[in-house]
Structure 1
């Protein structure tokens, strides 16, 4: 009888310990799939292309994230997430994109804030998607197109962001929220032999207070991303932006302004963006955004306007329709439209 009671007590203790350990840590499979069909023609394109593509409103991705409670307010965190083209099943955003180019990091968080090491977001990403109504659409958001998507169609349009929206070999320190304000410091080690200290560094700040969002970033970049091995840009490039949004309930207004330049040229890219999001039909939003980038030394400018509708079928699934007009000085005008569906899991 004593043996049975001892075994029962020991089993109960092990079960309780296992339950406690399980409650203190978690790993989550998560991601997003986004596919659209449309007719695309950017400024300068020779003709129109009918497409069924991935990532109309958000670049599709999947992966795992997890956290472990270490006690005393300290937690360990990790993330391994990968981009994918859902229309073809091909991994990555483009040819030679690294497998975990979205996230590949581990870190610690607590009352001091959060320290993350590995591959993670660049300083420019969160401020840019919070300052425009179409978020992180690399297909239809005018601000994101101007900042992050080069055009290989003879226009010579170069993305104004110096070095991708994610950095490798990166150390990120994020402060705790201070009355709605969070500051993130980013440092990327160059890892290039004889590089004489080539590196990327930057800061961003995010402020949330009720209907008001304010944000901004600064980057000073010398290393390309996500190249393996790292590659020197050949010069030092800098980029900054200030932006924000205010929710008036009947309409949410967005605005941003920024500049980008390189040390080996006098040319500056100056980008302004305005946008609105108007709730309709209870679960839908009319979205509109306009961006203009002017090149100071060449008198070349790009103007892009997108009008669309995004309708949520549930908290995780929405359908959307987008119309976009794209113009670059002395180049053919491009008009595009797309219909898509996006699902989060």
Structure 2
């Protein structure tokens, strides 16, 4: 009896020790706004309650296990969602865990992650503009990642989504303030289709040193995401950007320049500038992006907003945006929203 009791206590202690070395978190972010949206070329305006005014809403699980010797196993399963309606995904047809669905190892060598994760373009684009990852009001993000389906024919300059499926990512250790990622996406398509060798490849880098931040990325893409298919007609698209910011304390300045090109559409050249300035318990945000096509068409978008922090995890914001495309009607949008992370 004593031996049995001792065995049970030993197993319980071992289980407790193993549990202490593992972590699993339920986490996410909710963002919703009310306003009126009219993009360049829209026939009219849409008054709406929307989701993701400043950040796309998401929820999910992340975790890691300490394997000893500095080695860790990591996983992430996170899903985008639309707070205004409760619908999962960013849009109709989006995969359920389109934000993250990956597993990997990390240690002194850096990290290797396999599954669905970020594309090379995402982090540099977010870092180098004052509106961060706003797919509603950030001029740079709108030009790079959001096509217009209103007769203007305007397509996003980023070739293939902000996340890639069937991906292997190698993340370097930090060297001072410098780090980077190498991305490779497999097609997972049958060889009989002739597309099994298609792939997306890319790299990015980030450098942080006090008030200075520098970043950039390069992509060479042949595949669509999040549902993986080869570009049709067969094509290879290239996209790159360099950007940075400098915090002068009274204000933080942002600047980017990039190009996107392929065999079928005019080359796009995008310049963006921005500034954020602390005012009271929040920040004034201002940004402008200009994308010029070799065809002579250009798009100019400007946003002005104020983001007020109620706490470290909750903020409220108001944004006014103007959007213009050559020979198309001008659009003006505004929104007032709230964001909460957990």
- The TM-score by the shorter chain falls in which range? over 0.9
- Residue 311 of structure 1 corresponds to 308
Q: TM-score, normalised by structure 1?
A: 0.95
Give the superposition deviation at 1:8.
5.8
- Residue 241 of structure 1 corresponds to 241
**How many residues were matched structurally?**
338
Q: TM-score, normalised by structure 2?
A: 0.96
- Residue 258 of structure 1 corresponds to 258
Structure 2, unaligned runs of 5 or more: none
In 2, Cα distance between equivalents of 1:15 and 1:153 = 62
Residues 1:88 and 2:77 are matched in the alignment: no
In 2, Cα distance between equivalents of 1:231 and 1:56 = 31
- Residue 17 of structure 1 corresponds to 14
1:125-153 residue CA offsets vs partner (Å, 9 max, x unmatched): 00000000000000000000000000011
- Residue 211 of structure 2 corresponds to 211
CA-atom RMSD in angstroms: 1.2
Give the superposition deviation at 1:9.
4.6
1:39-94 residue CA offsets vs partner (Å, 9 max, x unmatched): 11011111111000101000000000000011111100000000101100111111
In 2, Cα distance between equivalents of 1:55 and 1:77 = 27
1:93-116 residue CA offsets vs partner (Å, 9 max, x unmatched): 111100000000000001111000
In 2, Cα distance between equivalents of 1:313 and 1:78 = 31
Structure 1, unaligned runs of 5 or more: none
Residues 1:116 and 2:113 are matched in the alignment: yes
Which runs of at least 4 in structure 1 moved beyond 6 Å after TM superposition? none
In 2, Cα distance between equivalents of 1:322 and 1:63 = 28
In 2, Cα distance between equivalents of 1:270 and 1:34 = 31
Asked whether the equivalents of residues 222 and 232 of structure 1 are also in contact (C-alpha less than 8 Å), the reply is yes
Asked whether the equivalents of residues 198 and 232 of structure 1 are also in contact (C-alpha less than 8 Å), the reply is no
Give the superposition deviation at 1:196.
5.5
- Of 68, 71, 75, 1:74 maps to 71
In 1, Cα distance between equivalents of 2:132 and 2:330 = 24
Single out whichever of 302-311 and 244-253 deviates more from structure 2.
Answer: 244-253
- Residue 29 of structure 1 corresponds to 26
Give the superposition deviation at 1:232.
2.9
Give the superposition deviation at 1:7.
5.7
In 1, Cα distance between equivalents of 2:112 and 2:50 = 36
In 1, Cα distance between equivalents of 2:79 and 2:245 = 29
1:5-62 residue CA offsets vs partner (Å, 9 max, x unmatched): x566545433432221111101100001000000110111111110001010000000
In 2, Cα distance between equivalents of 1:159 and 1:68 = 38
Q: Following superposition of structure 1 onto structure 2, how do residues 1-345 of structure 1 map, counting pairs within 5 Å?
A: 4=2, 6=3, 9-193=6-190, 194-195=194-195, 197-227=197-227, 229-233=228-232, 234-265=234-265, 267-281=266-280, 283-296=281-294, 298-345=295-342
Asked whether the equivalents of residues 113 and 173 of structure 1 are also in contact (C-alpha less than 8 Å), the reply is yes
1:223-274 residue CA offsets vs partner (Å, 9 max, x unmatched): 00011x5333420000000001111111111110000000234x21000000
